[in-house]
Structure 1
């Protein structure tokens, strides 16, 4: 009897960035469709989840921000073959900062109200975009210390177990 393939969800990070009641979303075109998402992307080898979040924010918005808390962790299946384990962080800013995406796949970044985001539900990259904003607005937060990267080895991949 053949073994079932091991479940290997993609590990991703995202960040709810809020200032004065508006949220920073990035715009991208995927398969000729305009989509909106929080700054988000995949965890890369030898980086912590917080480091991945900082990198994605910088690449997709041009802003150098450190997440303040973890909003939540979601398991999400986009299809039977594609699954994600998404760590959503948050940053609350006093003012909406001008952003300049550095990633060529991101066409723009927009500060949008909740109503404007809700009106674009069909254009959101996934249902997690609005769902995690809702969690943020409910005050859901976990301290960054709950993510232990103390044993993360920042050594060459050849030395990895």
Structure 2
């Protein structure tokens, strides 16, 4: 019997205030990179709830999710890993500056798109900038596109 191929499902949240974006600086393979608050979907979790959870874990901010910006598929160069990334637009409801961030998060930054492109620290992937570009273009998809069914046949 062959193994069923499964992509890694990840979520990300774009948070923008005054033309600046909230990004996390994280350590990946001993390199510092910039990313939206993002992470893997956990068993039994809705995509929206995963985005809310990951944003809190990585930034200390409680958010609401307004809409879906886009769905992106990305393969690693060696085709060993494929990521299906759901990117949302969020709104900050509250901030707990004493919240302990995930271990791989170094700090958070508010950055303009221009500053992000001029940083020595690079975006984790091309999808970081693509999500910002799609947000700025006005990509806006209803959350009703997403349905979570907890029953398996």
Common topology (TM > 0.5): yes
2:9 aligned partner = 11
> What is the alpha-carbon distance in structure 1 between the residues aligned to residue 86 and residue 48 of structure 2?
9
> What is the alpha-carbon distance in structure 2 between the residues aligned to residue 60 and residue 142 of structure 1?
24
1:89 aligned partner = 88
Q: Which one has a larger percent strand, Structure 1 or Structure 2?
A: 2
> What is the alpha-carbon distance in structure 1 between the residues aligned to residue 129 and residue 38 of structure 2?
14
CA RMSD of aligned residues (A): 2.3
Which ranges of structure 1 fall in alignment gaps of 5 or more residues? 154-159
> What is the alpha-carbon distance in structure 2 between the residues aligned to residue 101 and residue 128 of structure 1?
26
> What is the alpha-carbon distance in structure 1 between the residues aligned to residue 113 and residue 120 of structure 2?
11
- 1:54 pairs, out of 44, 52, 55, with 52
Q: How does 1:58-137 map to 2 (within 5 A)?
A: 58-79=56-77, 80-92=79-91, 102-120=101-119, 123-137=122-136
Per-residue deviation, 1:145: 1.3
SS in 1 for 2:56: helix
SS in 2 for 1:103: coil
Q: Please say which of residues 10-19 and 27-36 is displaced more in the overlay.
A: 27-36
- Equivalent residues, number: 151
Dislocated runs of 4+, deviation >3 Å: 97-101
Per-residue deviation, 1:6: 3.0
Taking structure 1 as the reference length, what is the TM-score of the superposition?
0.85
Q: Which has the larger radius of gyration?
A: 1
Per-residue deviation, 1:7: 2.5
2:40 aligned partner = 42
Per-residue deviation, 1:31: 2.0
Which ranges of structure 2 fall in alignment gaps of 5 or more residues? none
Taking structure 2 as the reference length, what is the TM-score of the superposition?
0.89
Change (3 A) 1:134 1:98: farther
Change (3 A) 1:101 1:35: farther
Q: Is the Cα contact below 8 Å between 1:15 and 1:39 reproduced in 2?
A: yes
Q: Is the Cα contact below 8 Å between 1:12 and 1:42 reproduced in 2?
A: yes
